[in-house]
Structure 1
Amino acid sequence: MKIALIIAGGSGKRTGQDIPKQFININDKPVIIYTLEGFQKHPDIDAIEVVCLDGWHEILRAYAKQYNITKLKWVISGGESGQESIRNGVYNLEGKCNDDDIIIIHDGIRPMIDEEVLSDVIVKCELYGNGVTSLPYNEQIFIKEDEYSTKQYIPRDTLRRVQTPQAYKFGKLLWAYKKAFADKIGIYGSSYTNTMMVDLGETLYFAKGSDKNIKITTADDFELFKALLAVKKSSWMK
Structure 2
Amino acid sequence: MTVAIIIAGGSGHRMGQDIPKQFINVYDKPVLIYTLEGFQRHPQIDAIEVVCIDGWHDILWAYAKQFNIDKLKWVVSGGNTGQESIRNGVYNLEGKVSDDDVIIIHDGIRPLVDETVLTDVIMKAKKYGNAVTSLPYNEQIFVVDDEISTVKYIPRETLRRVSTPQAYKFGKLNWAYHEAYEKEIGIYGSAYTNTMMVELGERLYFAAGSDKNIKLTTKDDLEMFKAYLKSDKDNWLK
What interval of TM-score do these two structures reach, taking the shorter chain for normalisation?
over 0.9
Instruction: Give, in whole Å, the separation in 2 of the partners of 1:147 and 1:219.
Output: 29
Q: What residue number does 1:226 align with?
A: 226
Runs of 4+ in 1 over 6 A off after TM superposition: none
Percent of aligned pairs sharing the same letter: 75
Q: What residue number does 2:27 align with?
A: 27
- AA aligned opposite 1:218: T
* Pairwise CA RMSD: 0.4
- AA aligned opposite 2:107: D
Question: 2:98 aligned with 1:93, yes or no?
Answer: no
- AA aligned opposite 2:115: E
Instruction: Give, in whole Å, the separation in 2 of the partners of 1:225 and 1:175.
Output: 36
Instruction: Give, in whole Å, the separation in 1 of the partners of 2:20 and 2:7.
Output: 13
Question: 2:37 aligned with 1:2, yes or no?
Answer: no
Q: What residue number does 1:48 align with?
A: 48
- Structure 1 position 232, deviation (Å): 1.1
**1:26 partner SS:** coil
Instruction: Give, in whole Å, the separation in 2 of the partners of 1:101 and 1:177.
Output: 16
Q: What residue number does 1:14 align with?
A: 14
After TM superposition, the structure 1 = structure 2 runs for residues 101-112 of structure 1, keeping only pairs within 5 Å, are 101-112=101-112
Instruction: Give, in whole Å, the separation in 1 of the partners of 2:210 and 2:53.
Output: 27
- Structure 1 position 115, deviation (Å): 0.1
**1:164 partner SS:** strand
Q: What residue number does 1:199 align with?
A: 199
**1:29 partner SS:** coil
CA offset digits 1:186-235 (Å, max 9, x no partner) = 00000000000000000000000000000001111100000111111111
- AA aligned opposite 2:200: L
Q: What residue number does 1:127 align with?
A: 127
**2:99 partner SS:** coil
Instruction: Give, in whole Å, the separation in 2 of the partners of 1:14 and 1:38.
Output: 25
Instruction: Give, in whole Å, the separation in 1 of the partners of 2:41 and 2:114.
Output: 11
**1:163 partner SS:** strand
TM-score between both structures, scaled by the size of structure 2: 0.99
CA offset digits 1:52-105 (Å, max 9, x no partner) = 000000000000000000000000001000000000000000000100000000
- Structure 1 position 156, deviation (Å): 0.2
- Structure 1 position 151, deviation (Å): 1.2
Instruction: Give, in whole Å, the separation in 1 of the partners of 2:58 and 2:123.
Output: 34
**1:58 partner SS:** helix
After TM superposition, the structure 1 = structure 2 runs for residues 40-79 of structure 1, keeping only pairs within 5 Å, are 40-79=40-79
Instruction: Give, in whole Å, the separation in 2 of the partners of 1:118 and 1:23.
Output: 23
Instruction: Give, in whole Å, the separation in 2 of the partners of 1:224 and 1:28.
Output: 17
- Structure 1 position 147, deviation (Å): 1.9
TM-score between both structures, scaled by the size of structure 1: 0.99
For these two proteins, the number of residue pairs brought into alignment is: 238
After TM superposition, the structure 1 = structure 2 runs for residues 137-176 of structure 1, keeping only pairs within 5 Å, are 137-176=137-176
